[in-house]
Structure 1
């Protein structure tokens, strides 16, 4: 059985992605730290559920199970918030933008998780905490964010579909391949 790393997430629309690229560039200048591996612009997304390893032959069944779980949900919007060190300022792994959590987004992540479980795979047990990764720390440690650093101009993201991506890690950063896009009702 061939397995892959995969995740379900929310793809950013082109306009939101372009807005964030300028912000990330200014952040890179202000945090000129070689310990940070910045996310490629095309990789910016909001993760819903991550699968460490899934059999390639199970992908159609996984998609079917997740599709069943998200039926009846309607499209909605999320707002990107301030810059944060994730999962905590004391032990950061990534620099991210907070995603203003609300019940609809948490419900969507939960339903995707239920579909994953029904397909025979495990999900993370920690509570869902949405964020958008801007960069990963190569070596875990402290990062000092400038006190005046808050975030990008408010960016509202429409959630009209969710995507299943394969994630292939490399030294330059992960490469994502879109496997499936699943529409949410309007």
Structure 2
């Protein structure tokens, strides 16, 4: 398998640990086959796939230019959701409260990657943090997403302040390695 790359919003270590800690309270209700390693939590902005070094360098240059004046901003994790078959979901994820600044930042990164020559997915941006993959239980009950949501009563607040180009290292845990990092402006 070839190495893949993607641009993402990185989370501070304390936020990743909070996500995992709160998830431990409800994990027994969600029998998924593979759980994401705590150090691999992120929010994908643009999945590049495999890439040649010149295109990666160009994307780093253009993303850096596109977000150089972007300011850090607050976000919070508030919900749970799934993608895939209603009875046997493929992806289990945490949601963030909708935020125009997040949408704008993702759009800038995405456009810079297109300008770099990457062919990107055209699906609308759906901000989420992948937590687990491949449901192994009986028929999934969507009511569980609300009744077992640890973030509903105790949302996780944090400052979005870092955009990172990650490399996927298949077979390693954690598997995402930062290649380039851009810090947003903090006041």
TM-score category, normalised to shorter length: 0.7 to 0.9
- Aligned mates of 1:130, 1:115 — CA distance in 2: 18
Distance 1:88 1:101, change over 3 A: farther
Aligned residues: 181
Give the Cα separation in 2 of the matches to 1:43 and 1:156. 19
In the alignment, structure 1 segments of 5+ residues that lack a partner are none
Matched, 1:184 2:184: yes
1:111 to 103, 108, 112: 108
* Structure 1 pair 116–88 and aligned structure 2 pair: CA distance change class (3 A): farther
Residue 25 of structure 1 corresponds to which residue in structure 2?
24
**Equivalence for 1:80:** 77
- Pick from 135, 140, 145: which aligns with 1:143? 140
Label 1:154 to 1:54 Cα distance change in 2 as closer, same or farther (>3 A): same
Deviation at 1:95, TM superposition (A): 0.7
Distance 1:80 1:122 in 2: 30
Q: Show the counterpart of 1:134.
A: 131
CA distance in 2, matches of 1:61, 1:94: 31
Checking the alignment, whether the CA contact within 8 Å between 1:4 and 1:55 is kept in structure 2 is: no
SS of the residue 2:141 aligns to: coil
Moved over 6 A (4+): none
- Quote the offset at 1:71 in angstroms: 2.5
Residue 88 of structure 1 and its aligned partner are, at CA, apart by: 7.2
2:5: which partner in 1? 6
Which has the higher mean CA deviation after the structures are superposed, 78-87 or 88-97? 88-97
Question: In the aligned structure 2, how far is the partner of 1:103 from the partner of 1:179?
Answer: 27
Note the 1:21-100 alignment, pairs <5 A.
21-31=20-30, 33=31, 35-86=32-83, 89=86, 92-100=89-97
CA distance in 1, matches of 2:173, 2:20: 17
The runs of 5 or more residues in structure 2 that have no matched partner are: none
Inter-CA distance 72–121: structure 2 relative to 1 (3 Å threshold): same
Please give the per-residue CA displacement for 1:89-111, whole angstroms capped at 9, x wherever unaligned.
Answer: 46732111111121110111110
Q: CA deviation at 1:51?
A: 1.1
Matches of 2:25 and 2:96, distance apart in 1: 20
| Deviation sequence 1:34-83 (CA, Å, 0-9, x none) | x4310001111111111122113432221001111112211111111111
TM-score (norm 1): 0.85
Q: Is contact 1:4–1:56 with CA below 8 Å preserved after alignment?
A: no
